[in-house]
A and B are shown apart, each in its own frame.
Chain A
Amino acid sequence: MRRRTSCLLAALLLAAVTGCAGEGEATPSEPSTSAASSASSAPESSAAASPSDETEKVVEISVAVTDGTVRPKPRRVEVDRDSQVRLLVTIDVDDTLHVHGFDIEEPLEAGRTTTVELVADQSGIFEVETHESGLELLQLEVR
């Protein structure tokens, strides 16, 4: 339970930073591994949402790539179907992010954190990878 809470806190903090900065200068020095869900971490226009509101669940996942090494190590992140997923990707070279199955491709700029949001509206396991360097960052397990 304690771990959950601290994860939640980390997610909140990160959301606060990246949510305001957009694709900006946020470069977390220590990549967070939070995969918490929280109503209040949805940044834009959700101030009125009650914390128990199911539809406002946001799962935030951060991953960083330095010298071709993915941190945290590629893993499977379980999310509930139809939940909101926010990916925060920081990389040290220009690249393209690709979320399989959801047909999302997003340019990644060196040294910046790119945020991608999606609604996990189909079940299955989906790879999240970089195109140029061909690294698998993580897998979304939607059930």
Chain B
Amino acid sequence: MSVIRIPPTLREDTGGEREVIAEGDTVRDLLDDLRTRFPTIDAKLEYANVYVGGEDIRTRDGFETTVTPGDTVILLPAMAGGS
């Protein structure tokens, strides 16, 4: 069980939730759990970077990166706003 932090641009897909508790031992399992519960988030996840323990999963084991209970998973889609 881990906390997934939902960025503001994806919160409309989670009913406004800022954090979601998800089940799974790997990033893939956690995100699958997230998709199952919030189906509209699926397409946007493709364009989000994922961080576990402050590290980009691309520099670890990608979606197979293991997540230990208590880890915080951060989703980070590109944000352009500056105005």
A, B assembled together: no
